[in-house]
Structure 1
Amino acid sequence: MRAVVIEAFGEPKEVLTAGERPTPEPGEGQVRIALILAPIHNHDLATIRGVYGYKPVLPAIPGTEAVGRIDALGPGVTGLELGQRVSVSGIHEAWAEYFLAKAGQVVPLPDSVPDLTAAQLLAMPLSALMLLEDLNVAAGDWITINAANGAVGRLLNTLASQRGVHVLSLVRRADAVETLRELGAEAVVDTGTEGWQQRAAELTGGAPIVRAIDQVGGSAANDLLALLGPGGELISFGALAGKPLIVDPGPMIFKQAVIKGFWGSKRAEQTSREEMRRLITELVTMAATGALRLEVEATYPLESAAEAAVASETPGRSAKIALQP
């Protein structure tokens, strides 16, 4: 089968190659899935660079989320059928014509969920939904997030609005402001403009911001800390800037603010099967009814994975880049 392969960790454009690999055979409790579409996530690229919390044994096939059709059933698998279209996340080696997953990991999908949404229904949406639940906020509360034009920011806006939670979205480009507004975001501010803090206060009506989600790191974290109300929480969700958090101890001390991290993979490990089923059902229902729609900006064949990785990190992208067989 055709697959994307890395022989060494490094820059994706330099180490991603296409090659032939043996078609995997499902073991006990596993299914083999024929790939339809697989998104490229930031954590996929971090894994390829060797800087993520998980390091595969090399040579390795990247890819952690996809939509596909069940191609083979391993021993002991019940309740699933050949040809069934499923979403799956938290796996490895998805950037290939065929890949394996535990039967308990796959989520069968109704026809009303399009492939573009199905391919990215679990990783980022589930992380965003778990994050929203962990924020412990109520209808009417204000939260804020930077890099809000990315997948998590757009998702958080959608999910929060379903629960009556207000979101102040911070971006760095004027066109991103317009894009988010067109998508229905309630309050969007370009932090590259002078006096953006005053604009933020006007949009929130002076209401306290109780939670702030940082996806950037560096000095951006301090900007969020400055926005937080007394007793607020700053959650580190990502590090797009590739720099350590920079925070002023004054606001942290006098606001009695809390700073903590969030990692969706670890959160999922600590979540009961019943709770996970509830969260996934909520996402599938939203996708089936059209309340949750996830777009793909461009698709690339497996052989062009290096080019796709570059496109995924090119500024100005408005949706995910994905791979197809």
Structure 2
Amino acid sequence: MRSAIYSQFGTPLKVLTIEDRPVPEPGPGEVRIRMAMAAIHNHDLLTIEGKYGSLPALPAVAGTEATGTVDALGEGVTHLKIGQRVAVSGKGTWADYYLASAAMAVPLPDSIHDTAAAQLISMPLSALTLLDFVGAEKGDWLIQNAANGAVGKTLAMFAKKRGIRVVNLVRRDDAVSELADLGIEDVVSTTQEGWRETVRAITGGAPIKAGVDGVGGPASGELVSTLGDNGLLVSFGLMSGQPMQLSASDMIFKQATVKGFWLAKIAPTLPVEKLKSMIGEIVESVAKGEVELTVSDVFDLSDVAKAAAAAGETGRKGKVLIRG
């Protein structure tokens, strides 16, 4: 089978190659998936570059999320059947076949297309978990940067359903209309002078409870400057590649708190029923069209290096996907 392999860490365009590997056999509690479409996430690219929080032994097959059909059942798996269409994260999803935990496989309704199913779990689950992580309740104000990213868009959509207000910061003027087309409101471009005044006008001066920072660098301090007293800043990503830059006066006088968020650490601590409920909410919301998972481009698995390069470009309007 075709597999996207990297034998050293580095720039995906340079280190990713397509190699022929044996089709894997599922172990107890596992399923083998015939990959139909896989997502390229930022954490996938960081992993290939050797910059992520957990790294695989090399050589490794790239990718962590995909959708497809169940091709083989491991010992003890009785709730799934061969040919069933599922979305499930796993290791080495950028391949014709991959293995995953059967317990985490999500059966898909026909109303969810492969382009949405390929990115159904990781980013939307991060968004929902973030809303709980910051303790957001109906009527609260939040603020986030990188609002046109996958997590940012889904967070705004889920927050709207829950009556939580979100100020959505973007770094491109044209991203304002992009989000508006998705029904996302209260979008502010930080390239505009006086954008903080715009934020205050949107909130009517109401205190902002928490900020979600996916950028780092000076943008971290910008978020803190908008928070109310005892506000919380959550570090979720580092798109700028720069260390967080925070104002001591804002931190001291606002009595602000900074926390890090990594779903890989938090998800295992969630009660099983809570996790099932959140995934059920995601499936239902996407199936009904209440949450839209956008796509920028789709590449064939054979063009995986080009796909990874495209996923690393700025200004995308959605996920880059790989077709099996």
TM bin, normalised by shorter chain, reads over 0.9
Q: Which amino acid aligns with 2:192?
A: T
The superposition leaves residues 54-112 of structure 1 with CA deviations (integer Å, 9 ceiling, x where unpaired) of 111111001100111000111111110000000012x2100000000111111111111
Compute the displacement of 1:170 (Å).
0.5
Q: Which amino acid aligns with 2:58?
A: L
Q: Is 1:79 paired with 2:63?
A: no
Matched residues in 2 for 1:295 and 1:179: separation?
A: 11
Q: Which amino acid aligns with 1:163?
A: R
Matches within 5 A, 1:58-137: 58-89=58-89, 91-137=90-136
Q: Which amino acid aligns with 1:144?
A: I
Q: Which amino acid aligns with 2:5?
A: V
| Root mean square deviation, CA, Å | 0.9
Find the counterpart in structure 2 of residue 151 from structure 1: 150
Q: Which amino acid aligns with 1:18?
A: I
Matched residues in 2 for 1:180 and 1:230: separation?
A: 29
Q: Normalising to structure 2: TM-score of the pair?
A: 0.98
Compute the displacement of 1:284 (Å).
1.0
Q: Is 1:49 paired with 2:44?
A: no
Q: Which amino acid aligns with 2:70?
A: I
Find the counterpart in structure 2 of residue 252 from structure 1: 251
Q: Which amino acid aligns with 1:49?
A: E
- Give the paired residue count: 324
For 1:209, what is the secondary structure of its paired residue?
coil
Q: Is 1:184 paired with 2:183?
A: yes
Are 2:176 and 2:188, in contact at CA under 8 Å, matched by a contact in 1? yes
For 2:231, what is the secondary structure of its paired residue?
strand
Matched residues in 1 for 2:92 and 2:301: separation?
A: 12
Find the counterpart in structure 2 of residue 199 from structure 1: 198
Find the counterpart in structure 1 of residue 13 from structure 2: 13
Gap regions ≥5 residues in structure 1: none
Compute the displacement of 1:124 (Å).
0.3
Q: Is 1:281 paired with 2:270?
A: no
Compute the displacement of 1:234 (Å).
0.3
Which portions of structure 1, spanning 4 or more consecutive aligned residues, are displaced by more than 2 angstroms? Answer: none
Compute the displacement of 1:293 (Å).
2.1
| Amino-acid identity (%) | 49
Gap regions ≥5 residues in structure 2: none
For 1:19, what is the secondary structure of its paired residue?
strand
For 1:53, what is the secondary structure of its paired residue?
coil
Matched residues in 1 for 2:316 and 2:277: separation?
A: 32
Are 1:219 and 1:245, in contact at CA under 8 Å, matched by a contact in 2? yes
Matched residues in 2 for 1:304 and 1:54: separation?
A: 26
Are 2:182 and 2:292, in contact at CA under 8 Å, matched by a contact in 1? no
